[in-house]
Amino acid sequence: MTQDANSTRELSGQVKWFDPVKGFGFVVADLGGPDILLHANVLRNFGQSSVTDGARVSVRVQETERGVQAVEVLSIEPPEAGEGVPLADFADIDPEIIKAAPLEPARVKWFDKAKGFGFANVFGRTEDVFLHIEVLRRSGLADLQPGEALALRVLDGKRGRMATEICAWEAALKTSQ
């Protein structure tokens, strides 16, 4: 069965899992039905190299011989934050100050998912910005690659500059327009 590129439809759902090493994952549609294949290239076209499990997504899908596949990511929303304790580094900071921090352009220096942290460099600044895995997850991402373009909300914390929010560069551009 072949279908032309115009035979797509929009679906919303939740990321079941995504493995950046394998290069794919699956989305469960809100309307039910078979899992939707989400390939890393489709995600990269949206400007992200990963997406966290449980994130809400809106995708354009196409029926193929191998099943339903996402052909375009339209939006990604991080999973709902649980009732968990906020990061200790942000506990003494007014949430409104965190929300008011401007988005700053940055590139990933390195990130080690197993260690749970990494660093980025903000354009025009010399000091590193600490990236915590929990902030990454709360921002809807699962992993970062060296050189990846980001937009960060950064605050000076007890241990130096820390990201309070991490956005894929393309997603940040869309929200600021």
Q: Could you check whether 8-77 and 88-176 share the same CATH topology?
A: yes
CB atoms within 10 A of CB 70: 26
Domain locations along the chain: 8-77, 88-176
> pLDDT (tens digit, 9 = 90+) per residue, 124-165?
999 999 999 888 888 888 889 899 989 999 998 777 899 988
Closest CA to 14 of 1, 33, 32, 27: 27
pLDDT at 84 over 50: no
pLDDT at 24 over 60: yes
> pLDDT (tens digit, 9 = 90+) per residue, 96-119?
887 888 899 999 999 998 888 999
Query: Looking at residue 66, what is its pLDDT?
Result: 86
The pLDDT-based confidence of 20 (bands split at 50, 70, 90) is confident
CATH topology for 8-77? OB fold (Dihydrolipoamide Acetyltransferase, E2P) (2.40.50)
Averaged over 49-75, what is the pLDDT?
92
Cα separation, 146 vs 4, whole angstroms: 36
Query: Looking at residue 176, what is its pLDDT?
Result: 52
92 contacts 122 by C-beta, under 8 angstroms = no
Query: Looking at residue 81, what is its pLDDT?
Result: 58
Q: Encoding tokens for residue 58?
A: 């809106």
Among the listed ranges 33-37, 87-91, 133-137, 146-150, which one has the minimum average pLDDT value?
A: 87-91
Helix (H, G, I), strand (E, B) or coil at 109: strand
CB atoms within 10 A of CB 111: 21
Averaged over 17-44, what is the pLDDT?
92
The hierarchical CATH code for the domain 88-176 is: 2.40.50.140
Query: Looking at residue 86, what is its pLDDT?
Result: 52
